Structure 1
C-alpha cells in the first residue's frame, strides 16, 4: 500500500514544482497620488522614453522650449493614465490567447475500499487509480484560439480608439486654452473701457447733459463686461485643467510652459482631393469600423463553435486497480448523448448575434459617411464666417480709430469715443468666437476621418499606437 501513495506524492511534487507563485502587489492611494503630483514634462525619465520618437529636426531634444501639438501628443502617449489602462487591457487579451491554446489537463481519481471483516484467501484492500483525458483538440481548439486572436485584434483597435480620443482631448484643450488667453485679454480691455464709459456717463448725467437712462445703460455694459471677464477666467482655468488631464500631468506641471499652435489664426480647409482620399480610407478601415468587423468575425466564430458543440465530446480514462489481491488494468470511455437536444438553442442565439453584428457594421459605416459629409459642410461654412467676422473686426477697428481722432480734435465727446472702442472690442470677441467655431469644425472633420490634418501630427500618427 505504501508504494502507490509514494508514487502519487512524487508525481504531485514534480507537477506542482512548475507552478507560478503569487506575489502581492498592493496599490497605495497615497503613493499613487504622490507619484501623480510629481509628474513633470521636464522629467529626465520622460525625456529618455520620448527621445527615440522625437522628429529628426529636433535632434532628440526634450524638454522642448515651446510645446506644440505634436510635443503634447507625444507626452500624452507616454503619460496619459487612460492609455496605460488600455495597454493593460490589451495585455490581458494577449494573455487570453495562451489560455485558449493550452490543452485540458487530465484528472486523476483514487478509489479505496477495505473489508471490515477478514475474507478467507483475499487481501483486505481494494484501491484503484483512474484517469480522464478529454479529447480536446482539432477543430474545437482551433476555434477557441481563433476567438482569442480576434479578441486581441479587438483590444488593439480599442486601444487605437483610446489613443485617438486622448489626441482629440489634447487638441481641443490646447485650442480652448489659447482662445481663453485671448478672451481674458479682450475681457480686461473691455472692462477698462466700460469702466471709463460708466464714469463718463455719470458725469454727463450729473451735468444734465444726458438722461439717467444713459448712465444705467453704461452700468449694465460694465456689469456684462465684468461677467464676461469672469467667464473668460473660468474658461482659462478649466481648459488648463483639461489639458493637464489629457496629457497626464497635474495642473501645476503646465504653469510657465510656452504653449503654441502654428498657424492658429489661419485655419484652412485641406484640398478636396486629400479629403476624398482620407474619406475613402475611413469608410473602409476606420478603427471603429474595423472593430465592428472584428466583432462580426467573433460572432461568426462563436456560431461555428456552437454548431460544432452539437457533436458530443469523447473522454478516455485508462486506469489501474488492485482488487483484493488481483491487479487489473481498466479502460473507460465516455460520450455525451444528444438525446434531449442537439444544441439548437445556443446555435439560434449565436446566429442571431451574428446577424446583429452584421447590422452594426452597416450602422457604423453609415455613421462614418454621414459624419464626414456633415463635417465637410460645417468646415466649408465656418471658414467664410471667420472671414466675415474678421472683416467686421477690421471695420470696427477703423471706426474706432476715426472716433479716437475725432475725439482728439474735439468733434465728438468721450462717451462716443468709448462706445466705438467697446464696439471694436466686441467685434474682436466675435472674431474669436468665429475662430473657435472654425477650429471645432476642423476637429469634427478630423474625428470623422480619424486622421490629424496638421502636418506635424500627421507625421507622428501612423505609428502612434507603438509609442511608449
Structure 2
C-alpha cells in the first residue's frame, strides 16, 4: 500500500483536514474521560486513624453478611465472627485481593473486544490543471481485521479463568485474615487470663512473705524459708509485669489483624465465647476433611483456574498458527469516475508457524500443573502436621487438666484442714499458691491446644471455632456502593 498523496491549494487543504479530523473523531464521543485520583498521605493517615468498630457502614456490612443466627458472643459483643467481618471490611490485604479481582474482570472486557476497523487513504490528491470532469482523486479504505479459528473465544476464556483464580484468591485472603484475627483473639484472651492469675498469685506471695517476716521476728521460721519465698514473690512480680506488657501487645495485635488503630478497641465489649467451646474434629473424620481440603481449598481452586487459563492460552497460540484475514473495502473517486475495490490481506505462514509461542504456552501449562501438584503436596503435609500437633496438644491439655484437678482437690483438703484448725495460715497460702500455679499450667496447655486447633483450621480451611457468619465475603469493595459477586 502506497502512502497517501495530498496535493491541494492551501484553503482547500485546511477544509479537507477539518473534514478528515471530524470523521476520525466522531466515533470517540462515547469514550471514557480521564479522572485523576491523587492520593494524599495526610488524608489517608487521618482516615486510617479515624477507623472505628462503630462505623455505620461497617454495621450495615456486618448486618448484611451475618446469617439469621446471632453472631458469636451476642448482639452487642464482638466475638470471633464479628471481628472477622470487621477485618474483611477494613484489612488492606482484602483491598489488594479485590483490586486484583477487579483488574481480572476488566481483562475479560479487553479480551472480548472486537478490533476496531482502521481508515486510510490510498490516495487523496487534487489536480489543479484539470477542471473537468473533476480535479479530485480520493481513495478511502476501511480495513477490518477478522480473527479466525476462535482466537477471540480462546482469549476470552483465558481471561474468564483468571477471574475465577482472582476470586479464589480473595477467598484465600479472607481465610488468612480470619486466621490472624483468631490467633490475635486467642493471644489476647490468654494474656488477660494469665495476667489475672499472676496478679492473684502475686497477692498470695505477698501475703505469705508478710506472714513469714512476722514469724521470723518472733523466731518461728528461719531466714532461709523467708528468703525462698521472697525470691518466689519477686519472680511472681516480674511475671505479672511481663503479663501486663503482653496484654498490651496482644491488644495491639488484634487491632492490626482487623485493620484498625488500637484506640478503636477502647470500650469495645470483646467476647471470647468461641474460644471456650471449640468443636474439634474427631480422628475418624479427619480423613474426609483432608480430602476436601486437597480438592476444595480456595488456593487449590485458584491454581485449577490458573491451569485452565494456561490451557486456553495454549489453545490460542495453536489457533494463531492460522493467519487472520484483513478486508479493506474501498472506494476511488478518480477525476469524476467512481470505482469500488476489495483489498483482502493475510499473513503467509512461510517462515514460521508460531512454533515458539506454542512451545512457551506448553511450558507454562506444564509449570501450572507442577505448581498445582506442589500445592497439594504442601497441603497434605500441612494437614498431617497440624493434625499431629493438635492431637498432641489435646493430650497435653488433658494431662494438665488432670494435674489441675488433683491440685484443686489438695487445695480443698488444705482449706478444710485450715478451717478445722489443723494447719496454719502460711500452709493455707502455700496450698493456694500451688493451686494458682496449676491453673496457670492448665491455661498454657489450653492456649497451645487452641493455637494448634487454629493451625488445623487454616490447613483444612474448615472452621472449628465459631461458624455463624459467612466466609469468605467476596466483594469489589465493601466500603463503596459498587459491589462485585458474592
Corresponding residue of 1:361? 372
Q: Give 2:193's match in structure 1, choosing from 154, 168, 182.
A: 182
State the shift of 1:165 in Å. Answer: 1.2
- Quote the residue 1:30 is aligned against: 42
Do the aligned partners of 2:88 and 2:94 also contact (CA within 8 Å) in 1? yes
> Would the alpha carbon gap of residues 418 and 15 (structure 1) be closer, same or farther in structure 2, given more than 3 Å must change?
same
CA offsets 1:199-222 (integer angstroms, 9 cap, x no match): 667777888888877666555434
Distance 1:178 1:62 in 2: 14
Q: 1:102 matched to which residue of 2?
A: 113
Q: Which residue of 1 aligns with 2:461?
A: 450
Shift of 1:151: 0.8
Instruction: Give me the whole-angstrom Cα distance separating, in 1, the residues matched to 2:74 and 2:336.
Output: 82
1:191-270 correspondence to structure 2 within 5 Å? 191-196=202-207, 217-218=228-229, 220-262=231-273, 264-270=275-281
| 1:285–1:49 Cα change, 3 Å | closer
Cα contact 2:92–2:259 (8 A) shared by 1: yes
SS in 2 for 1:108: strand
- 1:401-425 superposed Cα distances (whole Å, 9 cap, x missing partner): 55567678585684x6555444333
C-alpha RMSD over aligned residues: 3.7
Are 1:186 and 1:429, in contact at CA under 8 Å, matched by a contact in 2?
A: yes
Partners of 1:412 and 1:39 in 2: CA distance: 56
Deviation (angstroms), 1:387: 1.7
For the 8 Å contact 2:145–2:325, the answer to whether it is kept is yes
Greater shift in the superposed pair: 164-173 or 390-399: 390-399
- 2:52 pairs with 40, 46, 58, which one? 40
Give how far 1:24 is off. Answer: 2.1
Offset at residue 142 of structure 1 (A): 0.3
How do residues 312-351 of structure 1 correspond to structure 2 at under 5 angstroms? 312-321=323-332, 329-351=340-362
Q: Quick one: structure 1 residues 76 and 413, their matched pair in 2 at CA, closer, same or farther if it must change by over 3 Å? A: closer
Distance 1:124 1:219, change over 3 A: farther
Q: Which residue is 1:436 aligned to?
A: 447
Q: Shift of residue 185 of structure 1?
A: 0.8
Deviation at 1:148, TM superposition (A): 0.8
| Residues 37 and 250 in structure 1, CA contact (< 8 A), matched pair in contact too | yes
- 1:16–1:201 CA distance, 2 compared to 1 (3 A): same
Cα shift at 1:156: 0.7
For residue 338 of structure 1, give the secondary structure of its aligned residue in structure 2: coil
Q: 1:149 and 1:117 mapped to 2: Cα distance?
A: 57
Judging changes above 3 Å, is the alpha-carbon distance between structure 1 residues 130 and 30 closer, same or farther for their aligned structure 2 residues?
Answer: same
Corresponding residue for residue 395 of structure 1: 406
What residue is the counterpart of 1:80 in the other structure?
91
CA 1:349 to 1:263, structure 2 compared with 1: closer, same or farther past 3 Å?
closer
Task: Describe the superposition over 1:75-102 as per-residue Cα deviations: whole angstroms up to 9, x where unpaired.
Answer: 3333333323322322221121111111
Taking a change above 3 Å as real, the CA distance of residues 263 and 360 of structure 1, as seen in their structure-2 partners, is closer
Question: Secondary structure of the equivalent of 2:116?
Answer: coil
In the alignment, which residue of structure 1 is the partner of 2:381?
Answer: 370
- Structure 2 residue matching 1:319: 3-state secondary structure: strand
The counterpart of 1:460, out of the listed 469, 477, 483, is 469
Q: CA deviation at 1:280?
A: 2.9
Q: 1:338 to 1:365 in 2, by over 3 A?
A: same
Provide the rounded CA distance (Å) in 1 between the counterparts of 2:74 and 2:148: 54
The 2-side partners of 1:460 and 1:44 are apart by: 18
**Secondary structure class of the residue paired with 1:312:** coil
1:11 aligned partner: 23
What are the equivalent positions in structure 2 for 1:64-75 lying under 5 Å apart? 64-75=75-86
1:333-371 Cα offsets, whole Å, 9 max, x none, are 333233333222222222122122212222222322333
Q: Distance in 2 between matches of 1:62 and 1:419?
A: 37
Name stretches of at least 5 consecutive residues in structure 1 with no aligned partner: none
In the superposition, the TM-score normalised over structure 1's length comes to 0.85
Residue 426 of structure 1 corresponds to 437
Moved more, 87-96 or 42-51: 42-51
CA distance in 2, matches of 1:437, 1:63: 26
Equivalences, count: 464
Report the Cα offset of residue 242 of structure 1: 2.4
